[in-house]
Amino acid sequence: MNVLMNVRELIKAHGDIEREVYLDFENSGPVLPEVIEAMLPYLRERGYGNPTITHKPGWEAYEAIMEASEEIAGYIKASSFEELHFTHSDTEANNIALLGGFSANRKLGRRVVISKIEPLSILFPAQMMRKNGVEVVEVPVNNEGFVLENELLKAVDDETVIVSIGLVNHEIGTIQPIKELVEVVKERNPCTLFHTDASDAYGRIPFDVRELGVDMATLCSYKIQGPRDIGALYVREGVKIDRILEGPLGTESLWPGLENVPGIVGFQMASRLAFENLHEKARRLKGFRDMLITEILEKIPETILNGPRGDRRAPDNVNISFLRCEGEALTIELSLRGVYVSSGSACTRRLLQPSHVLLAIGRKYEEAHGSVLMKLSSKHGFEDIQYVLKVLPQAVGRLRSISPF
């Protein structure tokens, strides 16, 4: 009860905020109105049936799933909609890729290779596999978060079953040269499967799974302001993969249970909106991103940019460490001013541990603890960016003024 009371007091403390700017799209966000409108009929008057049952509501549900599969598969240039498998989330998709991919191909060897900056939905299943006797190799990255190709080459051997490296890093926005990394892996061992978590690339940068050469790719709905509890896993035709959950199968071979038809329809609409004028949206986001980075580094002393600059960085990503500031305190301070960000990785912040991504690129503990992650959306305008640049120095200045350091 005390915790709830404290939360209510914190909410009440916000009072009259001049402006609200939401920059925590890494972790969640509002579902777009158009997405909600697309979902509503499938929650009320149509498509509420089981898509495996032969009656009108079932046929409507089945049609909705097939149409969404075709459209979303088209955005990533998959060969067929049958290569797209809906899942309950991007976390589940990553688990299926790693655990299910290894299970189906375990005769090939006992090694799995990942990078040191993969999301926890890759790191944690990899750790579980290690406990069960699988050899897991974590490849280091440079100070901008790029995988070291020579280390990757050394890590892949004749026993390597799967390599998993994200297309865009979820914390520092590094865009990996996945096509080149796939070529390095396949040249060393053509039988090795290559998976990429493309959750932070989908809807922000264009990519072609066939051109990249990947065997599996994870997609996410909520990161493009679609509904939660829905994701997808691209699995190239011919790749063997096992289910990690068991139950009654419907239209999805990797997702037992009743399909989330409203969620799938919402994912489809969010994708349509994200890919509409994608190049223009990316250009606009890059402008806002660079404005934030440049102004913050110039106007606030003792700040460090985490990740690369320019076209090697995702257009929506800003991650900066503020020395002599604690990241969690800064998120609260900004929240009281109507700017909503996250500190490091939201997956670890409740544990008060520094981000493993920032430590992997060489940041010290105090630098990682003082990091703030901001992710932009196409709904942001110039006034939003100006407001952030107005209140951020105020928040940092107040915290530093009371810091014992």
pLDDT at position 7 is 60
pLDDT over 90 (residue 11): no
- Classify residue 278 by burial, with Cβ atoms within 10 Å: 0-12, 13-18, 19+: middle
pLDDT at position 351 is 56
Alpha-carbon gap, residue 231 to 220, rounded angstroms: 5
347 has catalytic annotation:
yes
**Which residue blocks in 214-259 are alpha helix, DSSP H?**
none
* pLDDT category of residue 15 using cuts at 50, 70 and 90: low
Alpha-carbon gap, residue 301 to 405, rounded angstroms: 15
The amino acid at 23: L
- Catalytic site residue from 191, 220, 325, 347: 347
pTM of the model: 0.94
Q: Are 393 and 299 in contact (CB under 8 A)?
A: yes
Q: Are strands 193-197 and 231-235 parallel, antiparallel or unpaired?
A: unpaired
Domains of the chain: 14-30+278-401 (3.90.1150.10), 33-275 (3.40.640.10)
pLDDT (tens digit per residue) in 309-329: 999 999 999 999 999 999 999
Degrees, nearest 5: CA angle 216-219-220: 155
Q: Are 218 and 197 in contact (CB under 8 A)?
A: yes
pLDDT over 50 (residue 344): yes
Q: Are 288 and 89 in contact (CB under 8 A)?
A: no
Q: Are 86 and 259 in contact (CB under 8 A)?
A: yes
Phi/psi at 38 (nearest 5 deg)?
-70, -30
